[in-house]
Amino acid sequence: MWTPTLAAAAAALPPEGAQFAPWGGPAALMIAQPRPSAFIEVAPDSHFPIQNLPFGIFSTIADPRPRAGVAIGELVLDLAALEEAGLLTVAPAGSRVFDRDTLNGFIALGRPLWTHARSRVGDLLNEDHPDLRDNAGLRARALVPMREARMHLPVAIGGYTDFYSSKEHATNVGSMFRDPKNALLPNWRHLPVAYNGRASSVVVSGTPIRRPRGQLKMPDAEEPIFAPTRKLDFELETAFIVGEGNALGEPIAVDDAERHIFGLVLMNDWSARDIQQWEYVPLGPFNAKTFATSVSPWIVTLDALSPFRVAGPVQDPHPLPYLVQTGAGGLDLQLEVALASSGRTRATISRTNARHLYWSMAQQLAHHTVSGCNTRVGDLMGSGTISGSTPDSFGSLLEIAWNGTRPLALPGGAMRSFLEDGDEVIMTGWCQGDGYRVGFGEVRGEILPSPDSRRANPTGRTTGAGG
């Protein structure tokens, strides 16, 4: 009988104080080499082979209690069932962590046990390992078809911060709204610019998004009006989830930062550009972004992403010492955005790669905490919109249609400057390995009409949502 203990899990790890490999750790290498194979069939283009094993929270109609799972091929492996069967023990002294409705309790156990749990799940799914493979009763209980799983927000998010780390995106927005010759503000190359977002309105993929209303001021008008946004947009981002926080007053060093990151999700930072343009001076976006932010349901661990780390862009000027990172801070992650409008087929409208990001996750976290600001398990940190250098690689409609001046033609003849009611935005992303993919699945959301504007509009004036 396999009886794991905290001490045994910790014994497999480098001694305390050892430099943590920026691309993962020893267990990641154990998973990746030699290439393992699951006893479950997984298609080569699946996002969820045995090399990935992302964590999420799911429920089913048959068992509506939200609980932790790992995605494998077209199935969800129920970690609470494995824990109950005594095959997956990570919490001390008989306590359980996988039968809860968030992953926070599991994540709070610390990196040695994240790595241990994922490694153990990999063993249980391995074709050479009999414990799950040969236990038909447990397989029937613990392996759920993904199409029958309802996914939930995987973590309770205490704080949400959104960075602005794509130089191409910041340059495009600066060119449109300020001055093409001085598109980047003077601070941008010196620090990872960010704002504090709203954690309460982060929702899981599939949650419908209601078109928000707010104050807008037309360029030729003297006064603002209250109306549904006419410039509803998406922003393609990745986001990391803090796995180990820092105490107030104790900054995280840049080369220690990745040890504090549990994993990544895809994120759509929905944005109302007309509300944003009127309200954002001088303190940044507020109602333009607080109405909803969507995230993908599966958290892909840094261990799973370790084979895909790449050097980020050259940084000029050289950052201040607290932001100088050793090792590969970037991630070769292919990203796509598709738009499906009511009754029409889905069209891919952007393809880009997270490797374009100028500031790395480690630099973002070091900068976030350098003042002494504390972070906590489950905090969400967005990358900022990820844009490439050409219009077909831009990460927002604002950029693709250049603030409405170059409307996007969709298959079937429809045109888009911004999102219309009934439009569904689907983002996906994956790292391409040799014969397999480590992917994120999707983050999707459909736009619902705004509430009746006449009821809430004290002036009685009504305006269409328009597109």
Which residues are at the interface with Ca ion (CB under 5 A)? 162, 235, 269
Q: How far is the CB of 173 from Ca ion (least distance, A)?
A: 10
Q: What separation in angstroms does the CA of 358 have from each of 22, 25, 387?
A: 17, 24, 11
Nearer to Ca ion among residue 23 and residue 160 (C-beta):
160
129 is catalytic: no
Whose CA is closest to 268, among 183, 353, 201?
Answer: 201
> Please, which residue, 117 or 401, has the CB nearer to Ca ion?
401
Give the nearest distance from C-beta 265 to Ca ion in angstroms.
14
Which one is catalytic: 169, 260, 356, 368?
169
Nearer Cβ to Ca ion (78/162): 162
What whole-number distance in Å separates Cα of residue 320 and Cα of residue 22?
A: 20
Q: What is the 3-state secondary structure (H, E, C) of 403-430?
A: CCCCCEECCCCCEECCCCCCCEEEEEEE
Shortest approach of Ca ion to residue 92 CB, angstroms? 39
- Please identify, using beta-carbon distances, which residue of 3 and 200 lies nearer to Ca ion: 200
Nearest CB to Ca ion, comparing residues 341 and 396: 396
Give pairs for 313-321: CB < 8 Å, separation 24+: 313/167, 313/356, 313/357, 313/358, 315/189, 315/358, 316/189, 317/189, 317/190, 319/190, 319/363, 320/190
Considering the complex, state which of residue 50 and residue 365 has its C-beta at the smaller distance from Ca ion.
365
Q: Which residue is nearest to Ca ion (CB)?
A: 269
Query: How far does the chain reach from its first CA to its final CA, in angstroms?
Result: 63
The pair of three-digit structure tokens given for residue 258, joined into one six-digit string = 């990745």
Compute the distance between CA of residue 54 and CA of residue 50 in angstroms, rounded to an integer. Answer: 10
Task: Kindly state the smallest distance separating residue 290's Cβ from Ca ion, in Å.
Answer: 12
Smallest separation, CB 169 to Ca ion (Å) = 9
Please state the closest distance from residue 458 (CB atom) to Ca ion, in A.
31
CB 443 within 8 A of CB 427: yes
Residue 22 near residue 329 (C-beta atoms within 8 A): yes
List beta partners, residue 213. 228
Which of 293, 375, 225, 297 lies closest to 48 in space, CA to CA?
297
Q: Enter the tokens of residue 423.
A: 């439009």
Active site residues: 169
